[in-house]
């Protein structure tokens, strides 16, 4: 019988949420997972499977049984002809990226962080940018998972299609993901260009930017007119990188964290900090070339609070200008840079924020310098109000104030997902506090 550990404390990467599960498990096989679910069923316990713990909300928290699949992380098959890879759900993307690279393959798109499991990023709807590309779940070819009863389910576009539409953004509520098959492509390099602009220029020429770069996104510096445009495009150029420790860490991390800490005592300094760092780090063009996953990924150095909502792409201009106007009308409220704006195509995944809508993700952030909490409540509420006004849907991994009533309005197929979930998990074994607010 697999043994659970008592006294384990879970904390997410940002240390914004944590919990004390009754028992913590690290199974090594499908049979051990079945034993854990049998035990939970007998004792009427809740079960939560966690990935890399990067979600800054309480979606991974539980006081029941917690399962970490880090010991089930094997690559099971690489099909070079189909350019597909099948692996166990506990595999970290850092491991997957390197293994694919060795076989001349790569994922078409990746999020900012790879110290996460594929099952986790699928479960929460992780995305990157590129209007030609969907959220990362759109790269899933097939899934297998174990339901609360111990049954193993398989789904793909041609097998259990409705279940597949639900499972590609599952919220950890359908069962324990066992294996994932992803569509890959031939390995490629990306040429990243970062250059200064203004918010007005980006908004006035948005269509042009979207057409010029496959993976376009931009950063706006609140309390200023400044913006930084980022293009990432395929290239045959040799690898080159001009970054160095002094600018990336001494200035871009240590100095910035110190100044943000000072600003917690003198909030009026925040606009000055934004202008200073834009001039220091973003006022000239920067370029680098590397293999795709090393360009897609970047290091998240600061503990932070984050909100990230998807809105229809045609409403982005109005939304960001309204947020800018609100900050100007409320000068005592400070907002940390950047507001990051990314793009994703529509899909048919039932709980995808991009369901049936080409979307723009507008990400806001408040750092926690040296772990200190920074007031954000008024900013958070104003942002959420604006996102709701423009038909927004929150990123499932990020903190938000939405409830079941909100999701019923936001998602045309929300009830369809609920029906699938209730059929697979009638007793709510895989629910926690976060999911109870979603479904009840």
* % of the chain exceeding 70 in pLDDT: 100
Residues in the chain, pLDDT under 70: none
In a domain, 423, yes or no: no
Omega before 99 cis (within 30°)?
Answer: no
Are 280 and 339 contained in the same domain? yes
**Structure confidence at residue 405 (pLDDT):** 97
Are 206 and 340 contained in the same domain? yes
In a domain, 408, yes or no: no
In a domain, 429, yes or no: no
CATH number, domain of 128, equals: 3.30.465.10
What average pLDDT does the chain have?
95
pTM of the prediction? 0.95
pLDDT single digits (tens) 91-131: 999 999 999 999 999 999 999 888 899 889 999 999 999 99
CATH number, domain of 15, equals: 3.30.43.10
Number of domains in the chain: 3
In a domain, 401, yes or no: no
Are 140 and 266 contained in the same domain? no
Query: Which residues span the domain enclosing 50?
Result: 10-68
Are 130 and 261 contained in the same domain? no
Are 174 and 310 contained in the same domain? no
**Structure confidence at residue 433 (pLDDT):** 95
**Structure confidence at residue 16 (pLDDT):** 84
Are 235 and 146 contained in the same domain? no
**Structure confidence at residue 197 (pLDDT):** 98
In a domain, 426, yes or no: no
């Amino acid at each position: 019988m697999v043994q659970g550990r008592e006294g384990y404390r879970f904390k997410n990467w940002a240390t914004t949420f944590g919990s004390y599960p009754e028992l913590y498990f690290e199974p090594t096989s499908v049979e051990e997972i079945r034993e854990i679910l049998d035990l939970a069923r007998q004792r009427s316990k809740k079960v939560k499977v966690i990935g890399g713990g990067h979600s800054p909300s309480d979606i991974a928290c539980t006081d029941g049984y917690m399962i970490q699949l880090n010991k089930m992380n094997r690559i099971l098959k690489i099909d070079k002809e189909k350019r597909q890879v099948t692996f166990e759900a506990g595999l970290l993307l850092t491991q997957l990226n390197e293994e694919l690279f060795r076989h001349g393959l790569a994922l078409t798109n990746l999020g900012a962080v790879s110290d996460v499991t594929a099952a986790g990023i699928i479960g929460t709807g992780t995305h990157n940018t590129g209007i030609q590309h969907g959220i990362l779940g759109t790269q899933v070819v097939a899934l297998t998972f174990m339901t609360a009863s111990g049954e193993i389910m398989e789904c793909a576009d041609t097998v259990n299609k409705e279940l597949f539409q639900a499972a590609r953004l599952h919220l950890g509520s359908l069962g324990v993901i066992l294996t994932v098959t992803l569509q890959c492509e031939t390995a490629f390099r990306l040429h990243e260009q970062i250059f200064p602009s203004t918010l007005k220029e980006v908004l006035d020429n948005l269509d042009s930017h979207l057409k010029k770069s496959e993976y376009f996104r931009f950063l706006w510096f609140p309390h200023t007119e400044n913006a930084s445009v980022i293009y990432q495009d395929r290239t045959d150029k040799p690898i080159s990188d001009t970054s160095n420790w002094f600018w990336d860490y001494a200035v871009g991390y240590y100095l910035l964290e110190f100044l943000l800490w000072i600003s917690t005592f003198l909030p009026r300094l925040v606009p000055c900090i934004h202008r200073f760092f834009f001039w220091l780090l973003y006022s000239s063009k920067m370029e680098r070339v590397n293999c795709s996953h090393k360009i897609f990924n970047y290091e998240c150095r600061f503990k932070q609070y984050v909100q990230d909502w998807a809105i229809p792409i045609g409403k982005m201009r109005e939304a960001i200008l309204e947020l800018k106007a609100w900050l100007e009308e409320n000068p005592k409220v400070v907002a940390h840079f950047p507001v990051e704006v990314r793009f994703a195509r529509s899909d048919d995944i039932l709980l995808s924020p991009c369901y049936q809508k080409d979307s723009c993700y507008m990400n806001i952030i408040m750092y926690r310098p040296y772990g200190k909490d920074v007031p954000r409540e008024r900013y958070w509420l104003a942002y959420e109000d604006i996102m709701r006004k423009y038909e927004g849907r929150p990123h499932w991994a990020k903190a938000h104030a939405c409830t079941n009533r909100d999701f019923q309005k936001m998602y045309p197929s929300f009830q369809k997902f609920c029906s699938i979930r209730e059929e697979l998990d009638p007793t709510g074994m895989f629910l926690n506090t976060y999911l109870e607010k979603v479904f009840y």
